[in-house]
Amino acid sequence: MSAPSSPSRADVDGIAAWTVIRAARELARRLAVELEPLGLSPVEFGVLAQLAAAEGPGQADGPGQADGPGQAGGLSQADLARAVGVRPQSMTTLVAGLTGRALVERKGVPGRGRHSRLGLTDEGRALLADAWPLVVASRGWFAGDAAQADAVVAALHPLLGSARGGVDEVP
């Protein structure tokens, strides 16, 4: 089927991928507004949340206590970039900013050729605890219906590489 010479608004709005892109931009803008009072961007929230998830439940004594990518003291910068959905080059700047704010710390022995791991600091955990309810409240943006929010999540997870959406599977 060839493209219409002059697509209608309905033709454009009927393109699923384009609609998801537009919605993602709007949701990112809304989330940025919610997180701005905390001095946190949506991507920075994602970094803190992924590092906390890698720690595993109940890992108050430090990151990296669980099996998987979080083992050996946190996530690598490459693991974190995949989990958050940014380019590895962008993660360098993000990590530098979060490290400078004492929200994230490098674990392990530093040195050229050694893979350092990243983990949350106590300050990072505290900021994540403040941000979490704001982000969870975004479920209400989906017509205020928890079932509809769950349906959106279920529909989008396969595009992220798996229905589980864990650090291992995010492309």
Could you read off the pLDDT of 98-133 as tens digits, one per residue? 999 999 999 876 656 666 799 999 999 999 999 999
pTM: 0.78
| Domains and their CATH numbers in the chain | 41-136 (1.10.10.10)
DSSP state of 158: G
Rg (CA), the chain: 18
Closest among 147, 102, 106, 148 to 125, alpha carbons compared:
102
Mind listing the pLDDT tens digit for each residue in 53-62? 998 775 444 3
Work out whether the CA dihedral 128, 130, 133, 136 comes out positive or negative.
negative
Q: What is the 3-state secondary structure (H, E, C) of 110-137?
A: CCCCCCCEEEECHHHHHHHHHHHHHHHH
Place of tokens 């040195």: 111
Instruction: Answer for the pair 12, 4: CB distance below 8 angstroms, yes or no.
Output: no
DSSP state of 106: E
Instruction: Say whether pLDDT at 96 is over 90.
Output: yes
Instruction: Say whether pLDDT at 168 is over 50.
Output: no
Phi, psi (deg, nearest 5) at residue 120: -80, 145
Place of tokens 């893979």: 115
User: How sure is the predictor about 163, in pLDDT bands with cuts at 50, 70 and 90?
Assistant: very low
